[in-house]
Chains A and B, each alone.
Chain A
Amino acid sequence: MNVSTNPWIWISAILTLGIFSFLYKENPFYRVCEHLFVGISNGYSITFVWHRILMPTLINPVARGERLWLILVAIIGALYFTRFIPRISWLVRIPIAIVMGYGAGASIPRAIDASIIEQLKATVITRSTFETIYAGLWAIIIFIGVIATISYFFFSRERKGILKPLSYLGIIFIMLGFGASFGYTVMARISLLIGRLTFLLRDWLGIIK
């Protein structure tokens, strides 16, 4: 056992134990750690944005008399803060509208392409899909899965005839998807626990190498 003498490691270890204490029950120690985390994250972000974004790209150029049009952009951005003044809070709509307009314009065509067109193409079975039996088999399973799952979410008609078995098959595919997601979620959460335990045992207590 080789306990760390680094004060930062000790602070990290104490805060980790503080967060873990929530597993027993809600307590003031946990709340202190939680608030510290929120505060420090925000403080770090604000400081970084000030020094790395606002200073070099806005304040310094404007102070030198360059790119003065940035003042207009800064004023529009600052309108976000009008939310705190009820009388003129409606002005917040201006920057929101600009961001939404830009975001929608930039994302809609590409999102349709990336998430719908390309995915549809990948579902279509062609002769080239059967380059190997294995690939062809998976392509058929995916094709059936897509059709069955979509039919489960088809609510415009009563589930009768072909729609009934197809939607049941859809449920099976959906459940398989949930199962895979749950399995992966377990792995993710256990990984985080392992990460913290490794830190406590290795970096703090020096029990493991």
Chain B
Amino acid sequence: MMTFEKNKTGIWEKLTKLDRRIIYLLLFLVVLIPLIYPFRLTPRAMSPVLKLFNHIDTIPPDKCLIISVDYTPDTEPELHPMTIALLRHAFSRKIKVGILCISLLGLGLAQDAITTVTNEFNRHALTRDDSVVYGRDYVFWGWQTPVLVPILGMGENIAKVFPVDYYGNKTDTLEFMKTIKNYNDVGILVSISGSAIPFYYITYAQTQFGVRIGVGSTAVQAADFYPYINSGQVTGMMSGMKGAAEYEQLVEERCRFYGRRKATDAMASQTAAHIWIMVTIIIGNISYFILKRRQK
């Protein structure tokens, strides 16, 4: 009996001293296997995502959706699916979209999302009316700095903040800009970011101009935005890869748009990894308490 007890605590001791590289390797396998042998999960949209979707869905034809692509390649897996899902939603509902970047490294990602989604729509288009046309249905304004200049300036005149678009066209010559002048013509502005930029939009654009703000945030930041949803300063939010997957699900269900769903595809791995981490936390705590008791 004594030997058995000794062996039992020996295992716990070994577990607490386990080389972190073994834990990394196991986590790597837990993430890897569902990617190779996936199982599809159906994300159920939570209230913040649903609110954002519903608000965008009801944007009137004379107003537009602004997407502020404020993330950089390091947060691309979490945030890029959000931009793609928003563009799919807007284009399938014929909602005008203005795209800008506050973060310089977001330009390439914004361009990639635009190319991906416009190709998806225009591939099946038969007429110009069916197509998604640059300058009519959407505009890519590009980048402007410092952060307060575009955020405050767009409240007065968007064309003044972005005299030329990303491609070098004069913005005031574009058909889109004839009806979209400033925040009064914006249904909602969604800031997708892995940094504090959505706070700038809340503090300056929402507080001063009353424009509706949506947030697409990395999961790390998500908890910081909940008080703003509660106060109504943020209309809706997608948080992390799960938020993106929920939005993808809504776009597929309600807009009948079927495309590659990067975030949803990753949810199997995400779930497996979460279960694995929960197991390791539980084992770690049990071994901690057993060893503590033994020390006493």
- A positions within 8 Å CB-CB of B: 23-24, 41, 44-45, 48-49, 52-53, 56, 103, 106-107, 110-111, 113-115, 118-119, 121-122, 142, 177, 180-181, 184-188, 190-198, 201, 207-208
Q: B31 contacts A193, CB within 8 Å?
A: yes
B202 within 8 A of A: yes
Q: Are A115 and B35 in contact (CB under 8 A)?
A: no
Find the B residue at minimum CB distance from A184: B219
Q: Which of B152, B203, B221, B266 contacts A198 (CB 8 A)?
A: B266
A48 to B35, CA, bound (A): 37
Asked if B207 and A113 sit within 8 Å, CB to CB, the answer is yes
Mark B residues whose CB is within 8 Å of A: 21, 24, 27-28, 31-32, 35-36, 38, 74-78, 104-105, 107, 142-143, 145, 148, 152, 164, 202-204, 206-208, 218-223, 227, 230-233, 239-242, 262, 265-266, 269-270, 273-274, 277
Q: Which residue from B75, B148, B223, B277 sits with its C-beta under 8 Å from A181? A: B223
Quote the shortest CB–CB distance from B31 to chain A (angstroms): 6
Q: Judge whether B219 and A185 touch: CB under 8 Å.
A: yes
| B residues less than 8 Å from A185 (CB atoms) | 219-220
B241 in contact with A106 (CB, 8 Å): no
Q: Is the CB of B35 within 8 A of A208?
A: yes
Q: How far is the CB of A138 from chain B (nearest CB, A)?
A: 8
Indicate if the CB atoms of A191 and B266 lie closer than 8 Å.
yes
Q: In the bound complex, do residue A190 and residue B227 qualify as a contact, i.e. CB atoms below 8 Å apart?
A: no
Complex contacts, B107 vs chain A, CB 8 Å? 48
Q: Are A194 and B223 in contact (CB under 8 A)?
A: no
A-B contact pairs, 21 of them (CB 8 A): A41-B105, A44-B105, A48-B107, A49-B145, A110-B208, A114-B207, A122-B231, A177-B223, A187-B270, A188-B78, A190-B274, A190-B277, A191-B240, A191-B266, A193-B27, A193-B28, A194-B241, A195-B76, A197-B28, A197-B35, A207-B36
> How far is it, in angstroms, between the C-alpha of A45 and the C-alpha of B227 when the chains are bound?
34
Q: Report Cα–Cα, A193/B273, bound state, in Å.
A: 10
Q: Compute how far the CA of A106 lies from the CA of B207 in the bound complex, rounded to whole angstroms.
A: 12
| Minimum CB–CB distance for B17 against chain A, Å | 18
> Is A191 a contact partner of B241 (Cβ separation < 8 A)?
yes
The reply to whether B145 and A142 form a contact with Cβ atoms under 8 Å apart is no
Known: A191-B240, A201-B32. 12 other contacts (CB 8 A): A44-B105, A45-B105, A48-B104, A52-B143, A106-B148, A184-B221, A184-B223, A187-B240, A187-B274, A195-B76, A197-B32, A208-B36
A185 to B218 Cα, complex, angstroms? 9
* Contact yes or no, B223 A114, CB < 8 A: no
